[in-house]
Amino acid sequence: MISRLIVKNAVDDFLASLEVDVAIAGSGPSGLVAAKYIAENNASVALFERKLSVGGGMWGGGMMFPKIVVQEDAISILEEFRIDYTEEEGMFVANSIESVAKLTAKAIDSGAKIFNCISVEDVIIRESGISGFVVNWSSVELAGLHVDPLAVRSRFCVDATGHPAEVCHIVQRKVGKLQTTSGEIEGEGSMWAEKSESLVVDNTREIYPNLYVTGMAANAVFGSPRMGPIFGGMLLSGKKVAELIIDRL
């Protein structure tokens, strides 16, 4: 009975997410924030995470000290997600583990479905642009097995895969040109937290018809610096991509 209940309910969730309004690749902070805001606007959201755990690099804080720094612009997001923080030297400090837990809980409470251990290995491309993800178990990818994937259709897709910008790399290989200066992924620059924090929000946008990029993937695509353990820009980027998509929904 236990096995039947697990399989039945898991399959039911997956079946209900084969056609959604928004599909998000990557469950780091920007992906979780985006999922929450989009889903609470009566949109169906499926978030695919290739690893066992969600949260991306936020778990580890800075060099495994479980603390993150958030600038004042993003405090409203911490408060909305009920993440505790302290103010020191004009900056705001939060616990990285608490932050991931509460971002995840709010995304789930909003109605977003999170699927871990599933990788996005390709995209669906139609005349109108990107129309969904092609997914497979991450274990299949790691084992190098030849197992055909399945397709998830969506009206909009989001690359929230962090530094690798995996979905954008796939699209570049398939179509050859993105909406960057060169038409290609520019590559991530060296760490420059102060500059990167604003650029990650500026770079959050549609990168190919119906495909948006958010978080560190946005900076990697547009050639901006990485930011280190300051996460306000990541949170604001997730909120911005949600707003851009909600306007079109």
Is 13 inside a domain boundary? no
Is 56 inside a domain boundary? yes
Q: What is the pLDDT of residue 14?
A: 97
Average pLDDT over residues 12-25: 98
Does pLDDT of 41 surpass 90? yes
Is 6 inside a domain boundary? no
Q: What is the reported pTM?
A: 0.96
Which single residue is written with the structure tokens 């299949």? 140
Q: What CATH code is carried by the domain that includes residue 134?
A: 3.50.50.60
Q: What is the pLDDT of residue 193?
A: 83
> How many CB atoms are located within 10 Å of the residue 89 CB?
7
Average pLDDT, the chain: 96
What digits encode the pLDDT tens for the residues 127-162? 999 999 999 999 999 999 999 999 999 999 999 999
Does pLDDT of 25 surpass 90? yes
Does pLDDT of 113 surpass 90? yes
Is 230 inside a domain boundary? yes
Is 87 inside a domain boundary? yes
Does pLDDT of 90 surpass 90? no
Strand partners, 132: 124, 153
| 57: nearest Cα among 187, 206, 236, 227 | 227
Is 1 inside a domain boundary? no
- Residue 159 contacts residue 205 (beta carbons within 8 Å): no
Q: What is the pLDDT of residue 73?
A: 93
Q: What is the pLDDT of residue 176?
A: 80
Q: What is the pLDDT of residue 234?
A: 95
What digits encode the pLDDT tens for the residues 195-234? 888 899 999 999 999 999 999 999 999 999 998 888 999 9
Is 4 inside a domain boundary? no
DSSP sequence for the chain: -HHHHHHHHHHHHHHHTSEEEEEEE--SHHHHHHHHHHHTTT--EEEEESSSSSSGGGTTTBTTBSEEEE-GGGHHHHHHTT---EEETTEEEEEHHHHHHHHHHHHHHTT-EEEESEEEEEEEEETTEEEEEEEEEHHHHHHT-----EEEEEEEEEE---TT-HHHHHHHHHHS--SSSSSS----B---HHHHHHHHHHT-EEEETTEEE-THHHHHHHTPBP--SB-HHHHHHHHHHHHHHHHH-
Domain count, the chain: 1
Q: Name the phi and psi angles at 208, rounded to 5.
A: -160, 150
User: What gap in Å lies between CA 25 and CA 213, rounded to an integer?
Assistant: 10
Q: What is the pLDDT of residue 8?
A: 97
User: What gap in Å lies between CA 26 and CA 6, rounded to an integer?
Assistant: 24
Does pLDDT of 163 surpass 90? yes
Is 57 inside a domain boundary? yes
Q: What is the pLDDT of residue 228?
A: 81
Domain ranges, residue 172: 20-248
